[in-house]
Structure 1
Amino acid sequence: MNFRLAAVMKRSVTLELINRDIVYTRPYIVLLNGEELMRENRNVISIFGLEPDTEYRIAIILAEGGGEEPKWLSFRTAPESVLLDVRAFGALGDGKNDDTACIQAAIEACPKDGTVRIPKGRYLTRPLFLRSGLSLWLDRGAVLLGDPSREHYPRLPGMTERSDGKGGFNLGSWEGDPETSYASLLTGIELRNVDIFGEGTVDGNADRSDWWEEHKTKRGAWRPRTIFLCRCRCIRIQGVLVRNSPSWTIHPYYTDGISLYNVTIWNPPDSPNTDGFDPESCEDVLLLGCRISVGDDCIAIKSGKARMAGERRKASRNFALRNSILERGHGALTIGSEAAAGVYRVEASLCIFSGTDRGLRLKTRRGRGPDCFYDEIYFHHIRMENVPMPFTFNMFYHCDADGHERYVQSQEALPVNAMTPGIGAVRAENIRCSGVDSALLCAYGLPERPIGAILLRGIDAVFLEDPERPKRQVLMMDDFPPMRGMSIYAKNIGSLKLENISIRGAEKEPILQNISDYESRAFILR
């Protein structure tokens, strides 16, 4: 069986099988230094308990009936300067006493290329600030538990004027604007080369505090995330469970080169604004073998609102998602709407979307910002299970207080200017959708700037059978009717190409309006 080394750290490694199976494959055996280590069937696995600066040989063979000779790969774990245990610094890990000072002391004392170990236990803590060159190891059974009292959380100012006259210094952020927010349980400011790894848990503890109450009100400062990374480079998170977040769970902000391997993100289904992973103005982002189940969008790619896009314009680019499961969220993978600086080159493949309201969700509107353009969006080899609306592209998204103004919602072709958003090329291939309810594709472009090009190829969709089920709201825009059983609704599109499409159980034929270039091949509606 072919595989690759996805990430080699000091005490762990992540492997990815190379195949066309979605998330799971045939059972196999992992051999480490000639001995059986584990039996698995996931395409992406992480192995812990390795020693630093040590040579290993690894192979994968089929569990039954393979008979093939193992193909060995050799790797060497990264060197480690020192291992510091937080209990040696006085941390108790009893879930009652405040361990913040002890853990922070271990972090501050740790030299470059060192590791801070958090062993089994429940460590009640206020926000912790990480350092460059650090590895944070959450061992199996270790829980970092967020302090439930907001009075114990320091604030990150949204914008502070620099003394040297070079503009503002931005720390806090809230939904695309530089706003004062509480520091997060794990906070990183301008870090380089940080690993967070292990089989432990980072628990925001929001289910036992008041973070989810009056969630639309700023009380002292805006709610914290669980992990916030501001202007960082080369961050890897591997294996950990992150749960019960006060708001967005993991929020990389102007951060490049962030990778998540076998990370699980879990928030209750009714928890407000608890997106799973929100890279904002980030480049080179990878999610591999992750599982996300939350109360809002599972993944939302952003690049700020108009002010940040104007003052510190930075698009989000080069996003890859593979062999992951996205569950329960409003959108499995969402782009926008706070993406005023644009989003480019997004690829999702070999994933399962299960029980999310929408699959691929693009949302934007007039007035978002000077470079709000989405392009090169590619989805392929994905299975959507009980996803009512697999593809929704909305350029009239009515977010924020001004989202219902005439300028945003007008159906007339308005003059194109710097605040006119755009969507370029979107491609979806080899996708199976079951439990479709409202519409397979609902795409609504602007009359003055239609969506550039949509290609659906190799799509198999099965709608729900209950003809009495209620209609649902597909697009969050004014005066757009709820739908049920709509095969395809597309309006204001430059090019729409449908190839090898099979739709079963839809009640309505496609509705196409203002499509400049339309092509349909092997489109079967039954």
Structure 2
Amino acid sequence: MSLSFLQDNQNITVPMSLTMKLGPKIRNSYVLGSISIIMTLVSVVGGVEYPAINCRKHSAVLTDFGAIGDGTTSNTDAFNSAITNLSQYVNDGGALLVVPPGKWLTGSFNLTSHFTLFLQKDAVILASQDESEWPSLPVLPSYGRGRDAPDGRFSSLIFGTNLTDVVITGDNGTVDGQGSYWWGKFKNDELKLTRPYLIEIMFSDQIQVSNLTFLNSPSWFVHPIYSSNIIIQGLTILAPIDSPNTDGINPDSCDNIRIEDCYIVSGDDCVAVKSGWDGYGIKVGIPTQHLIIRRLTCISPDSAMIALGSEMSGGIQDVRAEDNIAINTQSAVRIKTAVGRGAYVKDIFVKGMTLSTMKYVFWMTGSYGSHPDPDFDPKALPQITRINYRDIIADNVTYSARLEGIPNDPFTDICISNVTIGVSEQKKKLQWNCTDIAGVTSGVTPQPCDLLPQKDGNECPYPDDILPIENVKLQTCTF
């Protein structure tokens, strides 16, 4: 028996055995095509309650600055005017900008410190498709060039740099990137600058993005970079499964990050952990580290639930993933790297994955390619080590594993324990394809490859300590 629902005009089938394991709340979420957000907002006498890292002393409504929510009038000037005006309260308790119900068309706008952007229910921020409303920015220093085009890049729709204490939240309001315009230009090779992201926060500290719906980003959806102390929770992120590079959440050269309770349908990786590209990332040298990803639900037929890389040249360390779900997704937690990347992916801990309709359960790639320059350093070999997976149930799987290290640079200390994989009718005879790797397994079905010998009774490690970001408690704020 199975449960079916429609997503992007495709019928997604989830075995009833899987849905029964997930509990009634999550089962209902599949029928609806979204998950329940744990931190809901409630109306109270005299205002609205919402959870945030910090509350604000001052507030204003977007319409106070001449905004018109008809879906056709540009409100770029209104957003910029509102935030400029509210920035005067940076040192006086901060400020909150309320986006009321309506369709608020806008180009890119910049945030300020000690600031909350709050989207009420039925508020929709619509991204303009007029390129003149998107300022250009220089390339990111750890990338050395734009991803779509070698020169600069368009500013993100919601952008901030060198900020402290920024909250983007709401009562499940919506930000719609209207990405089809950009996807068409990308596919036709018509871009002279790299496409904008939906949200990008740079060189900043104390960031919260929560309780919103994001649709159809031109490229990546949520991109914190060179930043720390980040909470991302309760997001619904949706893009067509054939849309290019619409990664859901991309922590990039960041430290101390918590991603939880998000539902993502994407044309690319649901979460992609990054830290710079080849020599540029090596030179900047800012790793992504101390990251926890939990209670994520992902649908991405051509990509990963969680990808580590491929741009990982500043290093990736201490990533914890627990109690995550992938359905009709190409792979679960995938490592992507190549000669020329340098740096490392190490101390990765995964437990409690529930997977259904997967091409691969385990996938590591040491020949991903994709370089910013043709003359990358062939001596810059990545170190991939101490990778741990445990407590995994998967069904309707084509390949159990494809684990490909780098010749003369093997991936080492791989541990896989307590894993049960049910293969599909289209199963491949060679279930475990392993080259240039080393490690151990325990309690794994089907039987792993010879490079991962069984060690009975071995349980792969998962840290007992709590990351600092896990101890951050949200305040109850009211406006």
Scaled by the length of structure 1, the TM-score of the pair is 0.74
**Does the CA-based 8 Å contact 1:459-1:500 persist in structure 2?**
yes
User: Does residue 107 of structure 1 match 2:83?
Assistant: yes
User: Does residue 293 of structure 1 match 2:265?
Assistant: yes
Shift of 1:42: 7.4
1:521: which partner in 2?
456
Instruction: Kindly name which structure, 1 or 2, has the bigger radius of gyration based on alpha carbons.
Output: 1
1:489: which partner in 2?
433
In structure 2, how many angstroms separate the alpha carbons of the residues matched to 1:210 and 1:226? 12
Shift of 1:175: 4.1
In structure 2, how many angstroms separate the alpha carbons of the residues matched to 1:351 and 1:502? 20
The DSSP-based 3-state class of the residue aligned with 1:277 is coil
Alpha carbons of structure 1 residues 141 and 347: separation in structure 2 relative to 1, 3 Å: same
In structure 2, how many angstroms separate the alpha carbons of the residues matched to 1:487 and 1:353? 20
Aligned equivalent of 2:421, options 452, 461, 464: 461
**Does the CA-based 8 Å contact 1:457-1:499 persist in structure 2?**
yes
In structure 1, how many angstroms separate the alpha carbons of the residues matched to 2:45 and 2:440? 52
1:413: which partner in 2?
none
Name stretches of at least 5 consecutive residues in structure 1 with no aligned partner.
1-20, 29-40, 57-74, 160-168, 409-416, 468-483, 504-508
In structure 1, how many angstroms separate the alpha carbons of the residues matched to 2:147 and 2:312? 10
**What CA deviation, in whole Å up to 9, does each residue of 1:69-97 have, x standing for no partner?**
xxxxxx99954212200112111110011
1:473: which partner in 2?
none
In structure 1, how many angstroms separate the alpha carbons of the residues matched to 2:53 and 2:338? 47
Which amino acid in 1 is paired with 2:316? V
Shift of 1:311: 3.1
Alpha carbons of structure 1 residues 261 and 277: separation in structure 2 relative to 1, 3 Å: same
The DSSP-based 3-state class of the residue aligned with 1:425 is strand
User: Does residue 427 of structure 1 match 2:360?
Assistant: no
1:45: which partner in 2?
38
User: Does residue 221 of structure 1 match 2:182?
Assistant: no
**Does the CA-based 8 Å contact 1:23-1:289 persist in structure 2?**
no
Shift of 1:308: 2.7
Q: How many pairs were matched up? A: 425
In structure 1, how many angstroms separate the alpha carbons of the residues matched to 2:128 and 2:64? 22
Which amino acid in 2 is paired with 1:267? A
Which amino acid in 2 is paired with 1:48? L
Aligned equivalent of 2:410, options 442, 450, 470: 450
In structure 1, how many angstroms separate the alpha carbons of the residues matched to 2:84 and 2:142? 23
Which amino acid in 1 is paired with 2:432? I
Shift of 1:296: 0.9
In structure 2, how many angstroms separate the alpha carbons of the residues matched to 1:465 and 1:210? 38
Aligned equivalent of 2:330, options 357, 368, 375: 357
**Does the CA-based 8 Å contact 1:333-1:361 persist in structure 2?**
yes
Q: How does 1:103-502 map to 2 (within 5 A)?
A: 103-110=79-86, 111-112=89-90, 113-158=94-139, 174-175=146-147, 179-198=151-170, 199-207=172-180, 209-215=181-187, 217=189, 219-329=191-301, 330-369=303-342, 372-400=343-371, 417=379, 419-437=380-398, 439-466=399-426, 484-494=428-438, 496-502=439-445
In structure 2, how many angstroms separate the alpha carbons of the residues matched to 1:55 and 1:142? 15
**Does the CA-based 8 Å contact 1:436-1:463 persist in structure 2?**
yes
Shift of 1:138: 0.4
**Does the CA-based 8 Å contact 2:441-2:448 persist in structure 1?**
no
The DSSP-based 3-state class of the residue aligned with 1:260 is strand
**Does the CA-based 8 Å contact 2:195-2:218 persist in structure 1?**
yes
Alpha carbons of structure 1 residues 82 and 340: separation in structure 2 relative to 1, 3 Å: same
In structure 1, how many angstroms separate the alpha carbons of the residues matched to 2:146 and 2:220? 10
**Does the CA-based 8 Å contact 1:119-1:139 persist in structure 2?**
yes
Alpha carbons of structure 1 residues 388 and 94: separation in structure 2 relative to 1, 3 Å: same
Alpha carbons of structure 1 residues 79 and 183: separation in structure 2 relative to 1, 3 Å: closer
Which amino acid in 2 is paired with 1:106? A
In structure 2, how many angstroms separate the alpha carbons of the residues matched to 1:520 and 1:170? 41
**Does the CA-based 8 Å contact 1:154-1:182 persist in structure 2?**
yes
In structure 2, how many angstroms separate the alpha carbons of the residues matched to 1:357 and 1:510? 20
Name stretches of at least 5 consecutive residues in structure 2 with no aligned partner.
1-18, 27-33, 459-479
In structure 1, how many angstroms separate the alpha carbons of the residues matched to 2:326 and 2:448? 24
The DSSP-based 3-state class of the residue aligned with 2:363 is strand
In structure 1, how many angstroms separate the alpha carbons of the residues matched to 2:322 and 2:316? 18
Shift of 1:264: 1.1
Shift of 1:125: 0.3
Scaled by the length of structure 2, the TM-score of the pair is 0.81
**What CA deviation, in whole Å up to 9, does each residue of 1:45-66 have, x standing for no partner?**
012136699999xxxxxxxxxx
User: Does residue 89 of structure 1 match 2:62?
Assistant: no
**Does the CA-based 8 Å contact 1:176-1:304 persist in structure 2?**
no
**Does the CA-based 8 Å contact 1:385-1:433 persist in structure 2?**
yes
The DSSP-based 3-state class of the residue aligned with 1:521 is coil
Alpha carbons of structure 1 residues 55 and 346: separation in structure 2 relative to 1, 3 Å: same
**Does the CA-based 8 Å contact 1:51-1:77 persist in structure 2?**
no
The DSSP-based 3-state class of the residue aligned with 2:40 is strand
**Does the CA-based 8 Å contact 1:283-1:317 persist in structure 2?**
yes
Q: How does 1:46-85 map to 2 (within 5 A)?
A: 46-49=39-42, 78-85=54-61
Shift of 1:315: 0.7
Shift of 1:141: 0.4
**Does the CA-based 8 Å contact 1:22-1:381 persist in structure 2?**
no
Shift of 1:339: 0.7
Which amino acid in 2 is paired with 1:373? Y
The DSSP-based 3-state class of the residue aligned with 1:214 is helix
Which amino acid in 2 is paired with 1:321? I
Which amino acid in 1 is paired with 2:133? H
Q: How does 1:26-45 map to 2 (within 5 A)?
A: 45=38
Shift of 1:267: 0.9
Aligned-pair identity in percent equals 25
Shift of 1:298: 1.0
Alpha carbons of structure 1 residues 133 and 171: separation in structure 2 relative to 1, 3 Å: farther
Structure with the bigger RCO (C-alpha within 8 Å, sep 6+) is: 2
Q: CA RMSD for the aligned pairs?
A: 3.3
**Does the CA-based 8 Å contact 2:124-2:176 persist in structure 1?**
yes
**What CA deviation, in whole Å up to 9, does each residue of 1:209-228 have, x standing for no partner?**
24433348472311111111
